[in-house]
Amino acid sequence: MLNRGQFFGFFFAYLLFVVYGSLVPFEYRPHSVDEAVAKFADIPYLALGIASRADWIANIILYIPLSFLACLWLGGAGRIRASHYLVLPVVLALMLVVATAVEFTQIFFAPRTVSINDLIAETLGGLGGIALWLFGRHRLLHLLQSFRQGGHQSMVAVLSAYGLFYLAQSLFPFDVVVSLDELKWKLS
């Protein structure tokens, strides 16, 4: 089984991936710190249309693994004791700090959009990763352990992971239709 140091390595690598993906294409636009703070203080809540909703849902999904890995790093993979519940607000606070820092940094990079919607989505993703740690970590870690054992168990693990990945890819770009008008627009 992996130890907390290894979970930190996975967490940190995925954190770098989140930051990288949130800032590409790295078109720097200079602002003074005062300008950036003023812009960040005025970030809007956007009325998302169907085209933007896919990006919003992708932000949720992006933060689920990040908070799940943070929970594994800080809370471990074993049985949850009462003291482990103290990890949950720490992980949620960490997700809020990361999301806020990423959104603030996006002010300096075109054509990134900074909005309250993104902060909400990233917070929901953080909560989703916490829920996954609370209720699904044993299944996921068993899948990983089965893969590492090799043989028949490894094949079952690989096929299960592939099935989950295929399902996620089939739903991409995660554009959920919430009204009859949107469904008509999608079909046309």
Q: What CA–CA distance (Å, rounded) separates 187 from 88?
A: 42
185 or 88, which is more confident: 88
Calculate mean pLDDT across residues 31-37: 93
Strand partners, 28: 109
Residue 98 pLDDT exceeds 90: yes
User: Looking at residue 152, what is its pLDDT?
Assistant: 77
pLDDT tens digits along 145-162: 777 777 777 787 778 878
pLDDT tens by residue, 107-127: 999 888 889 999 999 999 999
Burial 70-101 (b: 16+ CB within 10 A, else e): bbbbbbbbeeeeeebeebbeebbebbeebbee
Q: Which of 66-70, 154-158, 165-169 has the highest mean pLDDT?
A: 66-70
- First-to-last C-alpha distance (Å) of the chain: 51
Q: What is the DSSP code string of 100-133? A: HHHHHHHTTEET----HHHHHHHHHHHHHHHHHH
Confidence category of residue 177, pLDDT binned at 50, 70, 90: low
Q: What is the pLDDT of residue 173?
A: 58
Give the residue from 130, 133, 103, 106 showing the smallest Cα distance to 119: 103
Asked if the model's pLDDT at residue 178 lies above 70, the reply is no
pLDDT above 70 (res 50): no
Question: What is the rounded distance in angstroms from the CA atom of residue 88 to the CA atom of residue 80?
Answer: 11
Asked if 132 and 64 touch (Cβ cutoff 8 Å), the reply is: yes
Which range in 40-54, 72-86, 88-102, 156-170 is most confidently predicted, on average pLDDT?
Answer: 88-102
Q: What is the spatial distance between Cα 188 and Cα 63, in angstroms, rounded to a whole number?
A: 33
Q: Please state, as a whole number, how many other Cβ atoms lie within 10 Å of the Cβ of residue 123.
A: 19
Residue found by looking up tokens 């689920």 in the block: 64
What is the pLDDT, as a whole number, of residue 124?
96
Place of tokens 């703070």: 37
